[in-house]
Structure 1
């Protein structure tokens, strides 16, 4: 690690369009994610002389002030564990010169930090060192598995961000909930607001003063005490599916934040050890060819096994 002084950096056209926090995570190699957010909150990072929020999208010509930090030395070798490298290579669902779609495993955060050395983006950058523009297009919760889109060019990142803003990306999830749902689809349009508890834990609540959120739920399969649903997201708020389902009385299986403890215990007896929420497929217009691209992630074996036991009528007291 080496110490840097105060630096000024101008955003190039190739770098434009990405979020400020993602940019800093890439250029300040070796700096913990928590420290990057600390220098953003404190105003030590300046954009065109003023403070900027982590989600600010950089524009060509922006001037950044970067404070003194300890970064990885240029010749410092960072090696990805072989087991993680193999598992991620096998989890790539689609890849070309513009985009990469990963079947993100449950338990892998999209970013490192907060005690995690590796997140999906850091690991994939080591696997694809020639892809200088590799960036997350969106995020998935750490416990959620399934389709995660990354861009490999700045132009692709800008195009996909615009597609997300304009509703041009179709995202479908499979989610197991407590209770019998019935036959009809339901639309939930409850606004959501993020809150931080005194402990520092982040939670999301239904709040009319929060941000608009829209989810459509479609029943797929019914069991004695649970229902498998397809969730279609029209917005992408933090914990949206989990909080919407909690609010209407159908908590997600394995959810230790918003779920039902007794229901979770019953499914532990059937082998469920994590959140039953899986990003099953995404459809979007390819940023290079302009053609529609659909990518599917099969249901992981551990979740499929739980469904098989439910079909057999498996229950616990």
Structure 2
């Protein structure tokens, strides 16, 4: 990025550390570079200097200085078999971005003991796309469609259309119990918070939460007391589907944070150990190409055990 950028913190960010916010937005940024900006006073919030522990919320303006990653980046060697596997999961690609079907269990980027994630592997797979960066995130155990921008201009474009809710996102989830087919809309405000032991969680909070709207498109009751849901996100709050389905009394199978621990424990013995949530479809309008882009990622073997 060769110029100063001013970023308005989006609505779903509440009391988040400045370094974690930047890492979630620019996964390519080394922490060392962020802390260097802080020491030099180059990173500012609402025109004021910040500390490593400074926190930001919706509406704050973050000043990000120009930066080049060439001197900070260290190539991570990925085996050819892993690269071939990822190549087969690319759903759509052009000169501006890639859409890939992320497998469950793969983090979107390395860190916290993870040597490499989706971003690092794709950068090695596409070495000419040096600016390759995440447009949006999926949890490690969530599979499905992820967009990565090859250019900063593409990254800005996607941030804009995501903010304007011009990207249609369809998810599939298998939940505990038989879902009431009359429940087609979940409109419950959500708030990000921390437990006493420092664990980050999201909860329904009618007083201080941000509006979160989830629509249930279709319901299929499955044997064994489960349901397959087709879900459309109208808003994109953190853990929105996971918290909304739990609030309805039907948490997602194998959800270690919000699920039924005792029921999931018995499934674990049968090999069901990853969250049954899948980002199955993405659709948006590409202004540069002047056409609608629609991609679909098929359900994997995790779901086949139930369907």
SS in 1 for 2:236: coil
Question: Residue 3 of structure 1 corresponds to which residue in structure 2?
Answer: none
Cα deviation per residue 1:216-270 (whole Å; 9 max; x = unaligned)?
1233311241110011101111111000111111111011110112331343355
Instruction: Note the C-alpha offset of 1:307.
Output: 1.9
Question: Residue 182 of structure 1 corresponds to which residue in structure 2?
Answer: 180
Larger of the two Rg values belongs to structure: 1
1:46 equivalent to 2:43? Answer yes
Question: Residue 223 of structure 1 corresponds to which residue in structure 2?
Answer: 222
SS in 1 for 2:155: helix
CA distance in 2, matches of 1:265, 1:23: 34
2:3 to 12, 16, 31: 12
CA distance in 2, matches of 1:75, 1:249: 45
CA distance in 2, matches of 1:285, 1:90: 24
TM-score (norm 2): 0.80
Instruction: Note the C-alpha offset of 1:72.
Output: 8.7
Cα deviation per residue 1:16-70 (whole Å; 9 max; x = unaligned)?
87984368653x5xx4x5x6677788896524763385998878xx64699xxxx
Please list, as runs of the form range in 1=range in 2, the aligned pairs for 1:203-222 lying within 5 A after superposition. 203-208=201-206, 209-222=208-221
8 A Cα contact 1:16 1:57, kept in partner: yes
SS in 2 for 1:251: coil
Question: Residue 239 of structure 1 corresponds to which residue in structure 2?
Answer: 239
Instruction: Note the C-alpha offset of 1:199.
Output: 3.0
1:100 to 87, 98, 101: 98
For these two proteins, the number of residue pairs brought into alignment is 286
Please list, as runs of the form range in 1=range in 2, the aligned pairs for 1:42-81 lying within 5 A after superposition. 46-47=43-44, 50-51=49-50, 63=65, 78-81=76-79
Distance 1:167 1:65, change over 3 A: closer
Question: Residue 126 of structure 2 corresponds to which residue in structure 1?
Answer: 128
Gaps of 5+ in 2: 9-20
Cα deviation per residue 1:177-234 (whole Å; 9 max; x = unaligned)?
1111133352111111111234332111111202211111233311241110011101
Please list, as runs of the form range in 1=range in 2, the aligned pairs for 1:98-177 lying within 5 A after superposition. 98-177=96-175
Distance 1:103 1:168, change over 3 A: same
8 A Cα contact 2:27 2:133, kept in partner: no
Question: Residue 253 of structure 2 corresponds to which residue in structure 1?
Answer: 253
Cα deviation per residue 1:79-118 (whole Å; 9 max; x = unaligned)?
2233322221121111111221110011111121111111
Gaps of 5+ in 1: 1-9, 309-317
Question: Residue 6 of structure 1 corresponds to which residue in structure 2?
Answer: none
Instruction: Note the C-alpha offset of 1:11.
Output: 3.7
Distance 1:110 1:249, change over 3 A: same
Instruction: Note the C-alpha offset of 1:276.
Output: 0.4
Instruction: Note the C-alpha offset of 1:154.
Output: 2.0
TM-score (norm 1): 0.78
